[in-house]
Amino acid sequence: MVGTEYYVALSAILFAVGGVGVLTRRSAIMLFLSVELMLNAANLAMVAFARSWSASGTLTALNGQTAVFIVLAVAAAEVSVGLGILVAIFRNRVSTDVDELSEVRA
Amino acid sequence: MSFPGVLDIDWNVMAPAVSLLITAIVALVFGLSARDSRGPAAVALIGVLTAGIFAVAHLFSGNESAASFGLRYLGDVPATALTLVILLGTAMAILVSWDQLERGGMGQPEYYPLMLLSALGAVVMASAGDLITLILGLEIMSLPAYALSAWRTRDRQSEEAGMKYFLLGAFGSAMLIYGTALLYGASGSFVYGAVAAALQGGNLTLLATAGGALVLAGLGFKAALAPFHQWAPDVYTGAPTVVVTFMSVVIKVGAFAALLRIAATVFPALQPWLLTALAVIVALTLVVGNFTALMQRGLKRMLAYSSVAHAGYLGLALLAANHGGVAAAAFYLSVYALMNAGAFAVLTLVTDASDHGDDLERFAGLGRTRPGLAAAMAVFMLSLGGIPLLGGFTGKVLVFQATIDAGHVWLAVLGIATSVVALFYYFRVIAYMYFRESSHAPHTFRSTPARVAIAVALVGTVLLGILPGWWHTLLSVGPRFLAGY
């Protein structure tokens, strides 16, 4: 059986990759994908922890596994709102480059 | 297999949230056939008042240990009192939007349902007793707020505000969710009290500390604590002013309600350097918020940085969460909701239909052309600056006292010093209103509902300044907040 720490390390790497993506990518679509990566890293960590906690009771493990479904739903809702705003922006500008979003100034 | 406590539902605790949800659905369906946006506004206002009646009834029922879903949704005094503050802020935002939506051509029927859903999310955050409920509340609050920020269709600034808010908000909530996963790994539970109890032993502290830090950062984005505040000025400037009236109050209350509960339960069990990090964040927020506000010409942007500064004062109360900080912060949030929503309400009447013209120059001569409006604005500015006999002063005194009791004397000194700086930019608005000649056409837009909102804010700000005792005593039922979780 693969140890929990390997799963957690992988999820930390995924989370970091997502975080770096959010901070460096310029296309809004890539930013969405990076955020998705961060959320799925959290899902992976929760499933791994749920397995490691299963020794201390089914309920403890179920808590983590149920949370994954909630986070999946959250991620889907988030992307639908984000894409909605993106479509509105794209209609006006024909670009998804977030660096061009710099009109609001003092 | 049994699920202890998960399915017990106390409807007295759930009633405010359920009323908001039902009203949001009714307003949405009703909005499809309504002539303009005032019908749905009335429905929304009735829903908020109903939720408020349920919350008041529960607050005075004395049933402080009531909870639903096995301590995952709490109905204690801080939760119910902050629910009331959220409902108050929502009601004021509805009144301010009443005429303004039609004037600005923003009267799509989904506006009020989204606002109610966002308020529902804030209520859930304030009542959350575990991290998953908190995440759900945060998302229910945030997703409608992203859409509302971009409400002015075909306005590039409003769209930009919505996108920036969405991207940084999603980044923040990803941090919160990952932090939650790590805390679950370290403790085996999501319920605050169980997390704190499991961490007291000192096992897996790296995992727990990283989790706590990520939760703090994630909520820091929502609360606009520096260095996570960068979205706030641009979103406040670009979003419609009526939406900012709502966001600057309700989202701040929701975020701080959640932070307070976590600061009182989970943080003390984590390594002390996390509290040091929070102290640094708070100090940075106080300095950045106040000094940057000093340099702004646009009033919306100035109020955005001022709201960052107020997040700093509320952050002081977080550090003192177990030394009276909870009651102090709840009191501060009550006053902040009144005076900040009041200031934005005045702003909506002074700026033009497309929200442009929030420059200080536009306030020149307001004392002569619109004396009532100018007097109300002056009171809000004095209260935000912390002048005695107004609510803002009482809130600051309570927060500084709690900070000193908790042993953070240098932070209290910094807080007092930055309050003096803050006086400059608040007084500048008053100086413009009364001592500058007007060089532009007088403001003619009038709105009775907005006037009602300003009057409520005015009465509340003054009342909490001269008679602060009753509300603070009510909020001081602190120990319940910590016991048993």
Cα separation values, B415 from B229, B313, B379, Å: 18, 7, 21
- Please check whether residue B440 is in contact with residue B361, taking contact to mean a CB–CB distance below 8 angstroms: yes
Choose among B360, B383, B373, B369: nearest CA to B431: B360
Choose among B201, B73, B191: nearest CA to A60: B191
Instruction: Record the tokens describing residue B287, joined without a space.
Output: 């300095």
B392-427 burial by CB neighbour count: b if 16+ within 10 A, else e?
bbbbbbbbbbbbbebebeebbebbeebbebbbebbe
What is residue A27's three-state secondary structure?
A: strand
Choose among B483, B471, B453, B392: nearest CA to B59: B471
B150 closest CB neighbour out of A59, A78, A85: A85
Q: Do A15 and B178 touch (CB under 8 A)?
A: yes
| B130: β partners | B191
- Please check whether residue B376 is in contact with residue B458, taking contact to mean a CB–CB distance below 8 angstroms: yes
- Does any CB of chain A come closer than 8 Å to the CB of residue B232? no
pTM greater than the 0.90 cutoff: yes
Cα separation values, B392 from B187, B388, B414, Å: 40, 8, 17
Q: Each residue of B412-452: pLDDT tens digit?
A: 999 999 999 999 999 999 999 999 887 777 777 889 999 99
Choose among B399, B394, B276, B388: nearest CA to B327: B399
**Which positions in chain B touch A87 (Cβ < 8 Å)?**
none
Round the CA-based radius of gyration of chain B to a whole number and report it: 21
| pLDDT given for residue A57 in this prediction | 80
The helix (H) or strand (E) run that includes residue A75 is helix A58-93
User: What does the pLDDT average to over B4-14?
Assistant: 78
- Does any CB of chain A come closer than 8 Å to the CB of residue B237? yes
Which band of pLDDT confidence, cut at 50, 70 and 90, is reported for residue B336? very high
Rounded to 5°, the CA angle A23-B145-B233 comes to 55
| pLDDT given for residue B6 in this prediction | 63
Q: What is the ipTM of this complex?
A: 0.95
**What backbone torsions phi and psi does residue B31 show, to the nearest 5 degrees?**
-60, -25
**Which positions in chain B touch A101 (Cβ < 8 Å)?**
160, 163-164
The label of the residue with tokens 């349920």 reads B54
Is the model's pLDDT at B353 over the cut of 90?
no
**Which positions in chain A touch B154 (Cβ < 8 Å)?**
92
The span from the CA of B307 to the CA of B290, in Å, is 9
User: What does the pLDDT average to over B200-221?
Assistant: 86
Choose among B340, B330, B365, B357: nearest CA to B475: B330
**Which positions in chain A touch B161 (Cβ < 8 Å)?**
104
Q: Helix B252-265 crosses helix B111-127 at what angle (to 10 degrees)?
A: 10
Which band of pLDDT confidence, cut at 50, 70 and 90, is reported for residue B201? low
Q: Do B154 and A35 touch (CB under 8 A)?
A: no
Q: Where are the alpha helices (DSSP H) in B205-325?
A: 205-223, 231-238, 241-246, 252-265, 272-294, 299-319
pLDDT > 90: what percent of chain B?
68
Choose among B287, B394, B376, B400: nearest CA to B332: B394
The helix (H) or strand (E) run that includes residue B20 is helix B11-33
- Please check whether residue B403 is in contact with residue B316, taking contact to mean a CB–CB distance below 8 angstroms: yes
Is the model's pLDDT at B152 over the cut of 80?
yes
| pLDDT given for residue B203 in this prediction | 59
For the beta carbon of residue B446, count every other beta carbon within 10 angstroms.
Answer: 11
Which band of pLDDT confidence, cut at 50, 70 and 90, is reported for residue B3? very low
Most confident option among A25-29, B96-100, B357-361: B96-100
Chain A: closest CA distance from residue B64 (Å): 26
User: What does the pLDDT average to over B192-201?
Assistant: 84
DSSP assignment string, B191-207: BHHHHHHHHTT-TTHHH
Chain B: closest CA distance from residue A65 (Å): 11
Q: Do B177 and A77 touch (CB under 8 A)?
A: no
Is the model's pLDDT at B202 over the cut of 80?
no
Instruction: Record the tokens describing residue B386, joined without a space.
Output: 């912390």
On the CB side of A55, CA atoms within 13 Å amount to: 3
Cα separation values, B162 from A103, B101, B217, B405, Å: 13, 18, 21, 41
The span from the CA of B96 to the CA of B457, in Å, is 12
**What backbone torsions phi and psi does residue B373 show, to the nearest 5 degrees?**
-60, -45
User: What does the pLDDT average to over B392-414?
Assistant: 95
Is the model's pLDDT at B185 over the cut of 80?
yes
Cα separation values, B253 from B35, B85, B174, Å: 33, 8, 20
- What part of B 278-307 touches A (C-beta under 8 Å)? 296-298, 301
- Burial bucket for residue B484 (CB in 10 Å: 0-12, 13-18, 19+): exposed
Q: Which parts of chain A sit beneath pLDDT 70?
A: 105-106
